[in-house]
Amino acid sequence: MTPRLVLHCLLAACFVFCHAVTAAEMPYRTAPKFALVIGNADYPGDLRLRNAAADARLIAAGLQQAGYSTELVLDADRARLFGAVGRLAERLRGGGVGAFYYAGHGVEVDGRNFLIPARTAVAERDTVLRDAFPVDYLVGRLHDSGAHLSLILLDACRNEPLAFAPRYRGGGTGFVAQQPANGMLLAYATQPGARARDGDGRHSPFAAALADWLPRPGLPIEQAIKHVMTDVMKATGGGQRPWLSTSLVGDFALVPAAGAEPMLVDAGMGRNVDGSRARGIEAETEGDARRELMQRGYAMDDAAMARAIETCDLVALALYRRAGVVLPFATPVFGSRGGSNLERPIMAGTAGLAPMLDLLAPSAADLDRRYMLTFTQAQTGEIPRFGELLDNVPPAWRPFVQPSIVKANALALAVWSGNDAAIAKLLALGADPDVGVDVLAPALRDGMPTGQLTSVQIASARSEARRLGRPLPATVQ
């Protein structure tokens, strides 16, 4: 058997826990079930893949047989990848289950995973960052789509650029394992730090095993993946060992057993997608909670708490509270967007934001003065009609104010993003609508800068709501 290395295999089967804003429960058999399957084989020269399209067709057929309305896209360029993922997310707004499968090249650059569009050569780091499709975008869209459950199968590999080799989906020595978020299962084609083989047959050992075991009626997903592990190890003579990482407790089968009527449950705090109690909620002592957090990959530090806040991991946050931690409204650790950890949940409209805020311990200062958005991000257009906002800078400061830093608190950010649920919750927690947007400007003495900086308020959440035609509720007018 000739190995075809799966470039630092991302074969991550991720059950991404989604805080649905739709029906709290729905029967799985009649729930909306959508799948997107991508098979990219058309790459330049020796990078062309022999089996990626066949693997995609195999998985697509299995998902269709399991009752999923499936879109199959072959040799997708970057624009088609973004468009197809967007369509999948939109279809899941009413809830249900979403599945995504990708076969093709992938790489890891600067700790981020990327899928390589068809007909794209990625020989350098900057080329990847410019032309590839970021996996975190995919995960974010499905996480926030409204689906009760999302299944992501990345039959791809990750590695540093320049590591591609003929007849391989990559090369190198594997990638670092990720800790699953609440309600997430990740199954990798091989163990961390290792490479995966493709074999000489029509399909990779991993794709063939997935197609065999996942659709079996009544078989819980974790058991299915364990059978996949066994088959792959046998097929490769022990040279490839799939890897499983999960935070699921309840059983979920892609195809229910005959006579079974499973329910999809909106997995709120302490619940899995099948309605069972989430692991960790039953921790009775501080020590139990700390051990549970460690098992989930969370340390007792600001960086770990920041990650729990940014991902809206309600179970982890509840465990921190049980462990005796007074959770901050915002940690001193920057989130992935460069500002506060609350920035992404607010901007994305994550439905789990309201119960998460209940788990935090905001003070008035945190609510009203903890700033989220900087000018760097303002340049991306996320502050609506930004030029109008800068007109509010006092005339005395205008000659000296460079586009340095605009700072906004949580309520102002919710106004800018049109997140009505976040606005209502923050106001209920006591947020002051008359503060919220400052600019960093030089301190003046006799009209001249002193060399020191000061923070000058240029707007409030209330004034921004009025400027944008989104008035705050009448009770705070």
| 21, pLDDT greater than 60 | no
pTM of the model: 0.56
| Residue 111 pLDDT exceeds 70 | no
How large a percentage of the chain has pLDDT more than 90? 19
CATH code for the domain defined by 13-260: 3.40.50.1460
Cα 176-182-186 angle, rounded to 5 deg: 40
Q: How many CA atoms lie within 13 A of 97 on its CB side?
A: 29
pLDDT range class, residue 53, cuts 50, 70, 90: very high
Query: Do the beta carbons of residue 280 and residue 319 sit within 8 Å?
Result: yes
Calpha distance 242→465 (Å, rounded) = 51
Question: 288-345 pLDDT, tens per residue?
Answer: 888 888 877 888 888 888 888 888 787 788 888 888 887 776 666 665 555 667 877 8
The ranges of the chain annotated as CATH 3.40.50.1460 are 13-260
217 — pLDDT class (breaks 50, 70, 90): very high
* Whether residue 235 has pLDDT greater than 70: yes
Q: What is the mean pLDDT of residues 180-184?
A: 49
Give φ, ψ of 149 to 5 degrees: -150, 140
